[in-house]
Structure 1
Amino acid sequence: MPDDSRVRLGIQVQPQHAHYPAIRDTVLRLEDLGVDIVFNWDHFFPLSGDREGLHFEAWTMLGAWAEQTERVEFGTLVSCNSYRNADLQADMARTLDHISAKDGVGRFIFGTGSGWFERDYDEYGYEFGTPGTRLNALAKALPRVEARWAKLNPAPTRKIPVMIGGKGEQKTLKIVARHADIWHSFVSPDQLGHKLDVLKRWGDEVGRDVSEITVSNELTRRHVDLDYAEALYDAGVRLFTLGVSGPDYDLSAVPEWLAWRDAKNG
């Protein structure tokens, strides 16, 4: 991975246990603080705390974020490929790209993955299948997304960045090598070297220089662990993400992470 790429900080505003005004205000606070990217997630129920608690849908929310923000990039960390027709996803992404455009350039990041939370599938009537069938569906969907972007009128304002989440070596990293601009995972620093070697081998097979892919990973949520962040940085990570949950969306750690980001960027 390139050593000269800048460090970015993304905050995942998890749309659970809060009324929407709290989510909206948190996004505004994050933009004012200076984060690079604001994410939500693509689920239909809370993943922690009260599993029947307050929760909101991801993509409709992104349209509001596109209008209310001025600078930050934004997206879903990550969307579930199973929930939407691939061509529809491409059109939705292109529309968000245009809604968010400042000086003619959009700010949307298309995050996607194969899906994993079985309750979402069962309660909303999607076929859960197996990890293999869901990954196969993702591999078939991404060329359709890319082809639809090439046909849409108007076209996207830029090459919409594709972020793919997951760490599986047999299928996921091959999809990453072929399609991703950003690879996101929860891999520990001591495992990243091996995963990047696998990614490079897939890149060689599909004919792509994977050094152009940004490596993204999760920061610890319990406290500001700069040693852990430095280890991730040394392993090649350049996009660092941190999740915050409702109802209060505690952002007290964000300024320290931003100071660390700024120091890394010189």
Structure 2
Amino acid sequence: MTSRQVRVGVQMQPQQAPDYGLIRDAVRRSEDAGVDVVFNWDHFYPLYGDPDGAHFECWTMLGAIAEQTERIELGALVTGTGYRNPDLLADMARTVDHISGGRLILGIGAGWFERDYQEYGYEFGTAGSRLALLKEHLGRIDARLKKLNPAPLREIPILIGGGGEKKTLRLVAEYADIWHSFAELDVLEHKSKILADHCAAVGTDPAGIERSVAWPGPEQAAEFVAAGATLFTVGTGGPDYDLSKVLEAVRWRDEFNAR
């Protein structure tokens, strides 16, 4: 059992919404509902529904979300490391951090959706080459953040998404403040033990890394907390941006944290 308070995020999937106002309204409704974090994702095409449907770009949107909100943290779940020069990405993150008043989470991963790469002219490579690039970019991002003037308003939390036991979890141990896992409960427990081993190898405290998962529903949420998860995120897409599960998660969070 963790001593962290449970938090709730919503992933505002920027797809199938031809009017950006639909997303702006959904962000407003999410902050009003009491969520802790609003994420989007870093893709260029929809991941479900009409594959050629409406879609907006990740980081431009994060700047807009930073400006319209006051309390919530925000970030990408997650940025594809192959899409941007890492020094530029660090500068973008620092800028959004300032726009938001110090509320950015820098979510990053190795990338996986081949169409994003092919259509926009990026090299897709292999899973191994994308992970190697992620490792290189994390080091460059860390170095660039330390050089920027003005500096970020806080030490920007790094969220790494993925569950590869040999490489990804090693990078989580080295660089991450938050680890987002797509795993089921038993797999999360297994991978948490492997992450602890990596942390021991690099000299970091595994308790200092927040565990983030998709919202499993109120029936299973307490079991995930017992396994170490404290950030639950609900995904929702356009054009409706239904927040019913978000409201369910917020109610559960409030009841659980009040115990």
TM tier, smaller: over 0.9
Q: RMSD over aligned Cα, in angstroms?
A: 0.9
Deviation at 1:256, TM superposition (A): 2.0
Give the 3-state SS of the residue equivalent to 1:116 in structure 2: coil
Q: 1:153 aligns with which of 137, 149, 156?
A: 149
Alpha-carbon distance in 2 for matches of 1:239, 1:208:
20
Contiguous gaps of at least 5 residues in structure 2:
none
Q: Is the 8 A contact 1:75 1:108 kept in 2?
A: yes
1:192 equivalent to 2:191? Answer no
Of residues 127, 130, 146 in structure 2, which corresponds to 1:131?
Answer: 127
Instruction: Decide whether the 8 Å contact of 1:215 with 1:237 is kept in 2.
Output: yes
Residue 255 of structure 1 corresponds to 247
**Residue identity matched to 1:261:** R
| Correspondence for 1:175 among 166, 171, 178 | 171
Per-residue CA distance 1:50-76 (angstroms, 9 max, x = gap): 001000000001111111001110000
* AA in 2 matched with 1:262: D
Q: Name the amino acid aligned to 1:244.
A: T
Give the whole-Å Cα distance in 2 for the aligned partners of 1:256 and 1:227: 11
Measure the CA separation in 2 of the matches of 1:254 and 1:141: 33
> Which moved further from structure 2: 141-150 or 42-51?
141-150
Describe the superposition over 1:154-206 as per-residue Cα deviations: whole angstroms up to 9, x where unpaired.
Answer: 00110100000000001000000000000001111111121011101111111
**Corresponding position of 2:44:** 44
TM-score, normalised relative to structure 2: 0.97
Task: Give the C-alpha shift of residue 255 in structure 1.
Answer: 2.0
Q: What is the CA-CA distance between 1:27 and the residue it aligns to?
A: 0.3
Contact preservation (8 Å) 1:26, 1:249: yes
Please give the alpha-carbon distance, in whole angstroms, between the structure 2 residues aligned to 1:182 and 1:129.
Answer: 26
The SS at the match of 2:26 is helix
Counterpart amino acid of 2:136? K
SS in 2 for 1:155: coil
Q: Distance in 2 between matches of 1:120 and 1:203?
A: 32
Render the CA deviation track for 1:213-250: whole Å, top value 9, x for unaligned: 00000124xxxx31221221111100001100101011
- 1:7 maps to a residue whose letter is V
Q: Does 1:100 align with 2:100?
A: yes
Instruction: Quote how far apart the aligned CAs of 1:265 are.
Output: 1.1
Residue aligning to 1:24: 24
Give the % identical residues: 58
The answer to whether the Cα contact below 8 Å between 2:2 and 2:225 also exists between their aligned partners in 1 is no
Give secondary structure in 1 for the equivalent of 2:220. Answer: helix
More off after superposition, 252-261 vs 165-174: 252-261
Alignment of 1:52-131 (within 5 A): 52-101=52-101, 106-131=102-127
TM-score under structure 1 length normalisation: 0.95
Contact in 2 for aligned 1:11/1:243 (Cα 8 Å): yes
Is the 2:215–2:249 Cα contact (8 Å) retained in structure 1?
A: no
Superposed CA deviations along residues 56-99 of structure 1, whole A, max 9, x for unmatched, are 00000111111100111000000001000110010000000101
1-structure distance, mates of 2:190, 2:34: 33
For 2:84 and 2:238, the matched residues in 1 are separated by 26
1:226 paired residue number: 218
Q: Look up the SS of the partner of 1:227 in the other structure.
A: coil
The letter for the 1-side match of 2:127 is P
Structure 1, unaligned runs of 5 or more? none
1:200-215 matches, within 5 Å, as 200-215=196-211
Task: Give the residue type in structure 2 aligned to 1:90.
Answer: A
DSSP 3-state at the match of 1:6: coil
